[in-house]
Amino acid sequence: MNKPKIVDLHGHLGKWFNFSTPAHTTRDIVADMDRCGIDKMVVSHLSAITGETSYGNQRMLEEIASFPGRLYGYVGINPHYSEDMREQLAACWGKKGVVGLKLHPQNNSYSILASKCQPVFEFADKMGCPVLAHIWGGKEAMESRKIALRYPHMIFLMGHCGGPDAYREAVEAAKGVPNLMLDLTSSYMMEGMLEWMVDQVGAQQILFGSDIPFYDAKHAVGRIVYSRLADAQKEKILFLNALDILKQAGVKL
Amino acid sequence: MSGLSYFDCNVMIGRPNSLEEYSIYRPQELLAVMDRCGIEQAMAFHVGAVAFHPSSGNERIVNFCRENSRFHPVWVVLPGHTGEFPRGQALADGMKEAGVKMVKAFPSPGKHHFSLARWVSGELLDVLAGCHIPLALDMGELPWEQIYALGRENPKLPLLLTNLNYRADRWLYPLMEKCPNIYLETSGLKGFLGLEAYCKNFGAQRLLFGSGLPLYSAGAAAAVVEMSDISQREKEQIAGENLRELLCKAFR
């Protein structure tokens, strides 16, 4: 297998409470990016997908500053805290390498349709930036469609394609909604599913994602590189689609 | 290309009860994926041995492997008290005659619904240990405490844990420390630099390449070995040498 060229729009920094991550430092992450052919990665800090957004977002800013041109950042927002949007954006937006917003509705127990989430999407729509949301379940996948249609200038990244039991809903949700992207990040990599998804929606709406350091990037790379897809389709999924999103978010490449 | 040739310890043959839109199940589809990913040979059990009954599924996998030389039969085992499954010397002779060098068990309540504790399965486990036949178990088939007991109480039985996931290290590390007879199939070891960490902490010789085909992506499974930050020697051990070495011990 030749080392592919990859841009990864789904990475994290830090450790996690629920399980051990054998490696987790930013240096580990960048070294593994080199090994796997990942040229650029957009990360959120894992603390920024909990209630402690400020701590995580500050760590994110420090870490991406250490690897300019390799690491970019999502600002983690927790919509339960009405002041979070204003405070976190004031602290982070406009800083070098910050390109989008990160939401985790499952971990923080809310619906993306809730009124408290709408300022996040309004901001992203105005900026034309990506919002990466952890989306888990068929209902949530269909809610993603509603949000993407309501805010057409925002790029909504449906994290994990809704999870292993919601791939059909995720694909249905994405049909005809070009600003709704299917993020392949998954620990469940089923044989043949990727090819089926491309057949349904086309390679232009599908994105590589690693979820480092939750899991390793190599599985995600192999799933695509060894698939039956044509090289042009693989290139779109591995990096071309992500580069378009970064360009729209104002990143000079 | 990596130059690695894989011997897969975790493949299923046959038609499962249900399919997803994208599922593959025909042998020729399976072989095409194996070719694409560099999987030369595979240990395979028959889905009929799980979803219908081991007696027929095991016969079918042996017949399938006789006609498909890249596959080697894995029997699905039960304890023999009910007369449904051979026991004692009959089991040992049957496996030897059929060329079976690995077995798998599905003891969970939703599958074959039995215990691998010694009071139920001691005779079965002793036959397997006596013949040096590895026993494969999917994660979730037994609670962790029972896997620990199985490993500790049957120290001569090689146990292969299959279809693991990246959230299990806090259980797997102590198991690997305390049970030297436990081996891990690699497809589910998805933790960040996880394979590297297992090699460093426990040695590559306890890791066996597996794909989980036809359910799981064989390309994902191959890439994690191929691209890992371990030596070429360790990759070769994991890709197939360790499995060959284990199988060579059968009936010796």
Please provide residue B105's backbone torsions phi and psi, each rounded to the nearest 5 degrees.
-130, 150
Residue type, A163: G
> What pTM does this model have?
0.96
Q: How many residues does chain B have?
A: 252
User: What average pLDDT does the segment A165-178 reach?
Assistant: 96
Mean pLDDT across the stretch A136-163? 97
What are the residue ranges spanned by the domains of chain A? 6-248
Taking the Cβ of residue A219 and every Cβ of chain B, the question of whether any pair is shorter than 8 Å is answered with yes
Q: What is the tens place of the pLDDT at every residue in B6-28?
A: 999 999 999 999 999 999 999 99
Q: Percent of chain B at pLDDT above 90?
A: 98
In B, which residues are within 8 Å of A219 by CB distance?
Answer: 190, 217, 220-221, 223-224
Q: Indicate whether B1 pLDDT > 50.
A: no
**Averaged pLDDT of chain B:** 97
Q: Is pLDDT at A137 greater than 90 in this prediction? A: yes
pLDDT at B43 over 70: yes
Contact, A211 vs A10, CB < 8 A?
A: yes
Task: Enumerate residues 6+ apart whose C-beta is below 8 A from A33.
Answer: A8, A39, A41, A70, A217
Chain B: residue nearest A28 by CA?
B193
- Indicate whether B248 pLDDT > 50: yes
Q: Which residues of B touch A170 (CB under 8 A)?
A: none
Q: Is the pLDDT of residue A211 over 90?
A: yes
**What is the C-alpha to C-alpha distance for residues B31 and B221, in angstroms, rounded to an integer?**
16
Tell me what pLDDT residue A2 has: 73
The architecture of the domain spanning A6-248 is Alpha-Beta Barrel (3.20)
pLDDT in tens, B155-181: 999 999 999 999 999 999 999 999 999
Task: Write the DSSP symbol of residue A228.
Answer: S
Q: What is the pLDDT of residues A189-200, one digit of tens each?
A: 999 999 999 999
Q: Does A231 touch chain B if contact means CB atoms closer than 8 Å?
A: no
Q: What's the rounded Cα separation, in Å, for the pair B185 and B190? A: 11
Supply the mean pLDDT for chain A: 96
The closest CB to that of A215, out of B191, B213, B216, belongs to B191
| pLDDT band at residue A138 under the 50/70/90 scheme | very high
**Could you tell me if B220 lies within 8 Å of chain A, comparing CB atoms?**
yes
Beta bridge partners of B103: B75, B135
Q: Tell whether A193 is within 8 A of chain B (Cβ).
A: yes
Residue B192: partners with Cβ closer than 8 Å, 6 or more residues away? A21, A22, A23, A24, A28, A29, A32, A212, A213, A214, A215, A216
What domains, with CATH codes, occur in chain B?
6-248 (3.20.20.140)
Three state DSSP letters for chain B: CCCCCEEEEEEEECCCCCCCCCCCCCHHHHHHHHHHHCEEEEEEEECHHHHCCHHHHHHHHHHHHHHCCCEEEEEECCCCCCCCCCCHHHHHHHHHHHCCCEEEECCCCCCCCCCCCHHHHHHHHHHHHHHCCCEEEECCCCCHHHHHHHHHHCCCCCEEEECCCCCCHHHHHHHHHHCCCEEEECCCCCCCCHHHHHHHHHCHHHEECCCCECCECHHHHHHHHHCCCCCHHHHHHHHHHHHHHHHHCCCC
Total Cβ atoms within 10 A of residue B66 = 12
Smallest CA-to-CA distance from A253 within A79, A42, A84, A76 is with: A42
Q: What is the complex's ipTM, to 2 decimals?
A: 0.95
Q: Mark A147-184 as b/e (b = at least 16 C-beta within 10 Å).
A: bbeebeebbbbbbbbbbeebbbbbbbbbeebebbbbbb
Which residues in chain A touch residue B199, judged by CB atoms under 8 angstroms apart? Answer: none
